[in-house]
Amino acid sequence: MFDRIPGLLTALVVVAAGLFTACGDDNAAPAASTSATTSARTTTSSDGASTSTAELVKLLRPSVVHIKSETATLDDFGRLVPSAGVGTGFIIDDKGDIVTNNHVVSTDSGDAAQDITVTLDDGSEHKAKIAGRDPPTDVAVLQIDGGNLKPATLGDSSKLEVGDDVIAIGNALDLPGGPTVTKGVVSALDRLIQEQNVTIPNAIQTDAAINPGNSGGPLVNLNGEVVGITTAVIRGSAENAEGIGLAISMETAQPIVKELIDKGRVQRGFLGVTIQEITPSLAQQFNLSVDHGVGIRSVQPGGPADKAGLRQGDIIVKLGDKDIQTSGDLFAALTEHRAGDVVEVVYFHGGDQQSTQVTLG
């Protein structure tokens, strides 16, 4: 079973049984090296400099914030029922913009939380407003008014390699005394997280422990740069199974964050089709020429796909530089494009492979 922090189903590319929640087992990875005369954990960054984990945490903590969201809804008897959620975020500029997960500042029904309080590392509390939310990628940006803010440094997640050390910082279990720090490695890259209306491509898998309350917190490399936004964990079915932590890569998040700050929403590109996922059994049943991809069930008249010559019954197998095996692959590919982008679509028409240029709507 899968849980997002809390409730996101994931299709890691592997099929995992267990609990996919916004949390993970407390299982920090061992330090890369330990001095014989001190208990401080030290690691070596890509530029060769030796930095202790404690030093990195001191650098990062002023940029990490505690987020509490509150909402009151009417029950079946017309009574107001309050609900609250807790998560983490990090400051990205001196104007008061804070990045977190959308589900941290949303109700169970998907509406925006009514009252959001951000607590800084110095203990000061600030009312926050939502600058923008992007539910499909679980990214949100908050804004606060506050002086002396310390923005986090954003890193290039495309430079990550499997085995790189990373640190997760967040308000695990909303425990008092400040954020929790866990350490691990990049276990895998380019994972795909999927659940109903959420599709997150290029996710980072880590064994750094992620727990409820960590949602929206930074995943940081050894240069002290944020390379991901912690969002979910997969737990095994065994009682003591280790958690698999997942983070939205900054490569995916940064253009979304910019658009949320600039426009308040993401204007994602669309094809203008309804689809049917192609499976080997379906391909065999209908004698299709390809056993994977996404079949077009209908085409919106005058829409992007229609203008590009795509027709009902065509099977899409590639969009841009992304191979399309499933409907999730297609949605993930579209999340990386905006209205007006021109992308190449490779598809099968009958038994022939063809391609066309589509201007996304």
Q: Does the bond joining 6 to the residue before it have cis omega, within 30 degrees of 0?
A: yes
SS (H, E, C) 149-205: CCCCEECCHHHCCCCCEEEEEECHHHCCCCCEEEEEEEEEEEEEEEECCEEEEEEEE
- Burial letters 68-83, b for 16+ CB under 10 A, else e: bbebeeeeeeeeeeee
103 catalytic? Reply is yes
Whether the predicted pLDDT of 37 surpasses 80: no
- Give the model's pLDDT for residue 196: 67
* In contact, 192 and 329? CB cutoff 8 Å: yes
Question: In whole angstroms, how far apart are CA 111 and each of 212, 216, 283, 334, 339?
Answer: 20, 18, 40, 24, 25
- pLDDT given for residue 198 in this prediction: 79
What's the CATH number of domain 1-263, 3.40.630.30, 2.40.10.120, 2.60.120.380, 2.40.30.110?
Answer: 2.40.10.120
The active-site residue out of 69, 97, 103, 249 is 103
In this model, does residue 98 exceed pLDDT 90? Answer: yes
β 225-235/153-154 pair status: parallel
Residue 361 has pLDDT above 80, yes or no: yes
Distance CA 63, CA 65 (A): 7
Given the residues 215, 249, 327, 329, the one annotated as active site: 215
C-beta of residue 299 within 8 angstroms of C-beta of residue 306: yes
Higher pLDDT, 148 or 358: 358
Residue spans per domain, the chain: 1-263, 273-359
Instruction: Answer yes or no: are the C-beta atoms of 227 and 160 closer than 8 Å.
Output: yes
Evaluate whether 339 touches 361 at the Cβ level (below 8 Å).
Answer: yes
pLDDT in tens, 309-356: 999 999 999 999 999 998 878 887 888 888 899 999 999 998 899 999
| Mean of pLDDT values over 172-193 | 85
| Predicted confidence (pLDDT) at residue 9 exceeds the cutoff of 60 | no
Structure tokens at 68: 């509490």
Task: Identify whether the C-beta of residue 185 lies closer than 8 Å to the C-beta of residue 222.
Answer: no
Q: What would be the CATH architecture of the domain defined by 273-359?
A: Roll (2.30)
Is there a common fold for 1-263 and 273-359?
A: no
Quote the pLDDT of residue 234: 64
Residue 68 reports pLDDT greater than 60: yes
The runs of H, that is alpha helices, within the chain are 53-60, 250-263, 280-285, 304-307, 327-335
CA distances from residue 150 to 6, 146, 188, 219, 295 in whole angstroms, order as listed:
28, 10, 30, 17, 49
Clarify whether 298 is annotated catalytic: no
Q: What's the confidence (pLDDT) of residue 238?
A: 46
Count of helix runs (H) and strand runs (E) in the chain: 5, 24
Contact at 8 Å (CB) between 213 and 173?
Answer: yes
* Span 214-271, pLDDT tens digits: 899 999 999 999 999 999 766 554 444 456 899 999 999 999 999 999 999 988 888 9
pLDDT higher at 190 or 133:
133
Predicted confidence (pLDDT) per residue in 268-293, tens digit: 888 999 888 898 999 999 889 899 99
Question: Which of the two residues, 35 and 187, has the higher pLDDT score?
Answer: 187
Residue 7: pLDDT above 50? no
pLDDT at 36: 31
Bridge partners of 142, per DSSP, are: 98, 130
Q: How many CA atoms lie within 13 A of 65 on its CB side?
A: 33
How far is the C-alpha of 72 from the C-alpha of 83, rounded, in Å? 6
Residue 73's pLDDT band, with cuts at 50, 70 and 90, is low
* Residue 84: per-residue pLDDT: 72
Residue 74: pLDDT band with limits 50, 70, 90: low
Burial class (CB in 10 A: 0-12, 13-18, 19+), 305: buried
The fraction of the chain above a pLDDT of 90, given in percent, is 52
Quick check: 248 and 138 in contact, CB under 8 A?
yes
Report how far residue 281's alpha carbon sits from residue 341's, in angstroms, rounded to the nearest whole number: 34
Model confidence at 109: pLDDT above 90: no
- Out of 134, 138, 164, 314, the active site residue is 138
Let me know if 164 is a catalytic residue: no
Task: Write the single-letter amino acid at 52.
Answer: S
Q: What is the pLDDT of residues 130-163, one digit of tens each?
A: 999 999 899 999 999 977 899 999 999 999 999 9
Q: pLDDT grade, residue 308 (50/70/90)?
A: very high
pLDDT band at 45 (very low <50, low <70, confident <90, very high): very low
Is residue 106 helix, strand or coil?
strand
Report which of residues 78 and 25 the model is more confident about.
78
Percent of the chain residues topping a pLDDT of 70: 79
